[in-house]
Structure 1
């Protein structure tokens, strides 16, 4: 028995969720769904059921798109048709039967797509600037997006709100808004992808307007105690991107979060222990200015997760790839057993 890990196994209440442990399953794109319909299948049901059996506190699903045009990868699930809602009901029922808590990460990729994936239409974005690189699992370069009108923006905000409503109908315990990694919300937030001159453009505070509208709509629909938002500097097409003044940028983000009344945030980085400014990590800087709930992520091992929880930098530690390779991750670290190394080419049957 591993006597050094205690904090990670504590139960905790965050928002409306009574979690069995201070752990979360990080959202990870798996592309398991039926490509044409975006409906999840029995493989996905078992995938999430097994992580719930292990005692993971909060399961955050892979990104679930809010419309056909929000899609950026083949095989990603949706949450905008009744068939998709009914498919997710099987997942939430399985997780709840194991005593787990599960929320849907609702997602619009914006410009990080291609018209052949996004329903035959050009991708949507704040400005008509193509992302750098190629579409994951598809291989073609990102399309030049169509600049969204204010009517388009209002429509997409409503699509987020409807997806949150659909998530509750599907039995989810709440939602996470994917506002990170260079996808649509983050494209509005970023000075490299948002060159607008209307109220959705300008300095960082002004560029966060779209994010705040989405947050307000979803909180109005499901409540602040069932809403989590993920944000980051990191972008899939600009992996080295960093805010010019990280602490000042974080303060502006947090001011925006406080304006909306959101209580739970999920700062995202690839390396949790890497300093980004003045010797401080992303999560340390966030904690300086935010006394609400923080879900931390960024390549945790059991020791770094335990230390971050002990110091109070985060309230919940989100685990990613180790949970793909080890459905019984918590059991193994509790018993001090060796973990299976994650390998990207592992067969799907090994991952369930």
Structure 2
């Protein structure tokens, strides 16, 4: 398939990002091909990865006009799919200062100008719904202790808060059901706010993920045990969200990576991936977002994470992990992924798609420059 974006054979020539080199001469670039993903008709296969920004009002979780402009700029540039920063589903879900919420009427209302602005620019935007679980502190979680599958503290300090993680409360069965309901309600609230759907954050060692790994989950009820049983909470959250808004509006992010234990990897990555994918199919998921810090890292049998998932998954898959355009294009051409998500480069370059199409150089992301401000 060729369109006007593909007429220049050297469209990516000279483009460099994250030391990925240039794509050279490519006559038909899949990154710029439109694609149907669930209910979303995307104008290209470039996604904005979810990135915590902490620019909401810390007391209310409400976002303001600067957040509207932040996402509008990326939509105006032509991003196919915008996945927002993590948006918490309750006061106890919060794990960083200044993160937005989507559980009060005021919060829902504050997101409406964001979604309206993105849609006016022809964009698609989904809300990443989030609960950090044990990776928090009671001063952030409304004065309550963090929640987790077991009363085991995460290692390290809360990012941007510089206090050690609290030892969480072990969730009762009633707590678990309440949080599942909060995920479903957050998904409904997101649609009410004008979002095109949601991404469930089930990765990186946050609450849903904490149920999946053995050193955070020591339960002996139906939510603990072997990996299949430890996936029960994730399964029930996904089922509830799909029932609330539909499988065609539900994306799930999952990972082996744990924020408080970066060296962690499953003992048998292939068996773990098979177990996850079996559950995804069982609940009727059609779209997943496997997440890794390094897309190219080989984890099993010569395959990277996404290649291993693709061995067992034939649905829509978003790729992420310090991707550069060359790697993304190659993975799209091979059919490993369907959409390529880019993170920090989109913070530093609001005109990322324009620069990519024109083969212009990119501004390098610098946390000292780009972290404190919305650009």
Tell me the TM-score range normalised by the shorter chain: over 0.9
* Secondary structure of 1:295 counterpart: strand
8 Å Cα contact 2:66-2:374 kept in structure 1: no
* Secondary structure of 1:51 counterpart: helix
Partner of 1:75: 98
Partner of 1:330: 353
The whole-number CA distance in structure 1 between the counterparts of 2:332 and 2:106 is 39
The Cα shift of 1:51 comes to: 0.5
2:171 paired residue among 148, 162, 167: 148
The Cα shift of 1:271 comes to: 0.5
8 Å Cα contact 1:124-1:145 kept in structure 2: yes
The whole-number CA distance in structure 2 between the counterparts of 1:53 and 1:347 is 20
Q: Does 1:208 align with 2:208?
A: no
8 Å Cα contact 2:347-2:370 kept in structure 1: no
Partner of 1:276: 299
The Cα shift of 1:333 comes to: 1.1
TM-score when normalising by structure 2 = 0.93
2:368 paired residue among 311, 323, 345: 345
2:52 paired residue among 26, 29, 50: 29
2:204 paired residue among 181, 192, 203: 181
The whole-number CA distance in structure 2 between the counterparts of 1:61 and 1:174 is 11
| 1:314/1:129 CA distance change after superposition, 3 Å | same
The whole-number CA distance in structure 2 between the counterparts of 1:26 and 1:198 is 35
Partner of 2:269: 246
8 Å Cα contact 1:325-1:350 kept in structure 2: no
* Secondary structure of 2:314 counterpart: coil
1:111 paired residue among 120, 134, 142: 134
The Cα shift of 1:348 comes to: 6.2
The Cα shift of 1:196 comes to: 0.1
The whole-number CA distance in structure 2 between the counterparts of 1:250 and 1:319 is 23
2:245 paired residue among 222, 225, 229: 222
8 Å Cα contact 1:85-1:169 kept in structure 2: yes
| 1:163/1:289 CA distance change after superposition, 3 Å | same
Partner of 1:295: 318
* Secondary structure of 2:41 counterpart: strand
The whole-number CA distance in structure 2 between the counterparts of 1:348 and 1:125 is 29
| 1:126/1:227 CA distance change after superposition, 3 Å | same
Cα deviation code 1:119-165 (max 9, x no counterpart):
00000000000000000000000000000000000000000010001
Partner of 2:148: 125
The Cα shift of 1:279 comes to: 1.3
The Cα shift of 1:247 comes to: 0.6
* Secondary structure of 1:345 counterpart: helix
Partner of 1:50: 73
The Cα shift of 1:345 comes to: 1.1
The whole-number CA distance in structure 1 between the counterparts of 2:60 and 2:296 is 40
The whole-number CA distance in structure 1 between the counterparts of 2:249 and 2:213 is 26
CA RMSD of aligned residues (A): 1.0
* Secondary structure of 1:234 counterpart: strand
Partner of 1:136: 159
The Cα shift of 1:94 comes to: 0.3
8 Å Cα contact 2:61-2:100 kept in structure 1: yes
* Secondary structure of 1:179 counterpart: strand
The Cα shift of 1:347 comes to: 4.9
